[in-house]
Amino acid sequence: MIQGGAVNSMWGALFPGQGSQSVGMGRFLFDEFQTARRLFEEAADTLKTDFRKLCFEGPDSDLQLTENTQPALLLVSTVTHRVVKEIMPIKIAAAAGHSIGEYAALVAAESLEFPMALRAVRKRGQAMQAAVPVGQGAMCAVLGLGDEAVQKLCKLVVEQSGESPLEPANFNSPGQVVVSGSAKAVEWMKQNVTAEWVSENLGASAGRAKLIPLSVSAPFHCSLMKPAELEMRKVLEATTFSSPRFPVVQNINAQSTQDTNEIRERLIGQISGSVLWTQCQQNLLDQGLHRYVEFGGGKVLSGLAKKIAGDKARVSNLNSLVDLKALEALVEV
C-alpha cells in the first residue's frame, strides 16, 4: 500500500472529457484499492451497467457509445480522485473539467453526489446522441488559426456554403479549436478551405489551417444540441447541488461560483455552448496554480496544458501504479 506524506503545495485538479476513454482505464486502481472496487459496484448498481466489463474488456465499440462513455469517464475520474485523496494528503485549491469532466470536478468538490452525477451524465449522453440523427452532424479540429480567425471561418463557411450551423465547440489551446455543426457544412469546409481560401478570406496574417475530421457520434457543443439542453434542464433542475468545497472553473465562461443555481445553469448551457478550455486553464494559472493532477485516463489535458502554459504548468498523469507513486513523491515534503 502506498503511504502518504505532508503537503508541500496546493494543486489544481483537471478532469478529462470524451476522447480520453480507452479499454482498460482504471483497471490498476480496481485491482489495488477497495475504494475503487466499491465505487465500481456503486456505479453498476446505480445504472444497472457492468462497468467492470465495459471499462476493462470493452469492446471498444460499446465504450465509445456516448451514453456509456460519459458515465464511464465520470466513474474512472471519481475513482482516481478518491484513491488519491485516501492515500495521500493532497490539497486541491481549484479544479476544472473538460465537457463531461466538469461533472467529475463537481463530484470531487462535493457539490454533486456521485450517484446523482451518474444518473445525470447517463441522461446527458442519451439526450446528446438523440438530438441529431446519425450522419447529419460532424466535428472537425482546426489547427493553426487563432480563436478569432476560427470564429470568422465558421461564419464565412455558413455564408458561402448555405449550410448551417458551424460553430466553435472547443477552444482547446492556442491554435487548436474544434468546430461542430452540420455535416454538410463541415464537408464544404474540408473541400473548399485551402491555403488560398484562408489567405483571401481571413487575411495573409491568419496563418495556415489544417483540418482534421473527428470520429464522433454527434456534433457536440453547438446549437444542434439545443434539444439535449432542454432535456438536461429537466434532469438538472431535479438534481441537488451544494456549494463546492473548492472552486470549479466551468466551461461556459471560464469562471467559478459558489451559487448552486448558477452552477446548474452553466452545466445546462454547456451542452450547446463552447468549451472555453484555454480560458479555464488560464484562470487556474492566474490563481497561481502551476502543479496539476489529471484525474482520469489518458494524457489529453496534460498535452493541452503544455500548449497553453508551456513550462509554467506541470501535470501528473495517473495511468499506472508507477504514476501514483510518482505523484506521492511530489506531494511529500
CATH number for position 189: 3.30.70.250
pLDDT in tens, 208-243: 899 999 988 899 999 999 999 999 999 999 999 999
What is the distance between the alpha carbons of residues 40 and 75, in angstroms, rounded to a whole number? 7
DSSP line for 21-63: --TTTTHHHHHH-HHHHHHHHHHHHHHT--HHHHHHT--HHHH
250 shares its domain with 184: no
Q: Could you give the percent of the chain with pLDDT greater than 90? A: 92
160 shares its domain with 29: no
pLDDT tops 60 at residue 92: yes
What is the distance between the alpha carbons of residues 197 and 192, in angstroms, rounded to a whole number? 7
> How many angstroms separate the Cα of 254 from the Cα of each of 59, 81, 102, 130, 274?
35, 22, 11, 28, 11
User: How high is the pLDDT of residue 134?
Assistant: 87
Lateral strand order in the sheet of 166-173: 166-173, 176-182, 137-143, 210-213
pLDDT tops 80 at residue 7: no
User: How high is the pLDDT of residue 207?
Assistant: 84
pLDDT tops 70 at residue 292: yes
Domain boundary among 188, 216, 244: 216
Identify whether 81 is a catalytic site residue. no
The overall average pLDDT reported for the chain is 94
112 shares its domain with 234: yes
Domain boundary among 216, 233, 258: 216
231 shares its domain with 100: yes
Domain boundary among 200, 216, 232: 216
Q: Which of 20, 111, 161, 221 is catalytic?
A: 221
24 shares its domain with 113: yes
116 shares its domain with 206: no
Domain count, the chain: 2
User: How high is the pLDDT of residue 3?
Assistant: 35
What is the distance between the alpha carbons of residues 84 and 101, in angstroms, rounded to a whole number? 17
What is the distance between the alpha carbons of residues 239 and 247, in angstroms, rounded to a whole number? 20
Q: Choose between 124 and 7: higher pLDDT.
A: 124
151 shares its domain with 252: no
Within a domain: 78: yes
Within a domain: 83: yes
What is the distance between the alpha carbons of residues 298 and 165, in angstroms, rounded to a whole number? 31
pLDDT tops 70 at residue 31: yes
Within a domain: 3: no
25 shares its domain with 106: yes
Per-residue pLDDT averaged across 8-21, rounded?
90
Question: Residue 61 is part of a domain; what is its CATH number?
Answer: 3.40.366.10
Q: Which residues pair with 11 in a beta bridge?
A: 92
Within a domain: 5: no
User: How high is the pLDDT of residue 205?
Assistant: 87
Q: Which three cell numbers stand for residue 243?
A: 456549494
Q: What is the pTM of this model?
A: 0.94
Boundaries of domain holding 187: 137-216
pLDDT tops 60 at residue 8: no
277 shares its domain with 166: no
Identify whether 221 is a catalytic site residue. yes
DSSP line for 135-203: TSEEEEEEES--HHHHHHHHHHHHHHH----EEEEEEEETTEEEEEEEHHHHHHHHHH--HHHHHHHH-
Q: Please, what is the end-to-end C-alpha distance for the chain in angstroms?
A: 19
User: How high is the pLDDT of residue 285?
Assistant: 96
198 shares its domain with 293: no
User: How high is the pLDDT of residue 208?
Assistant: 86
CA geometry: angle at 171 spanning 170 and 175, to 5°?
125
185 shares its domain with 262: no
User: How high is the pLDDT of residue 21?
Assistant: 94
Q: Which of 20, 77, 99, 316 is catalytic?
A: 99
CA geometry: angle at 96 spanning 1 and 41, to 5°?
45
Which of 97-106, 155-164, 198-207 shows the lowest mean pLDDT across its residues?
Answer: 198-207
101 shares its domain with 249: yes
Per-residue pLDDT averaged across 167-186, rounded?
97
User: How high is the pLDDT of residue 215?
Assistant: 87
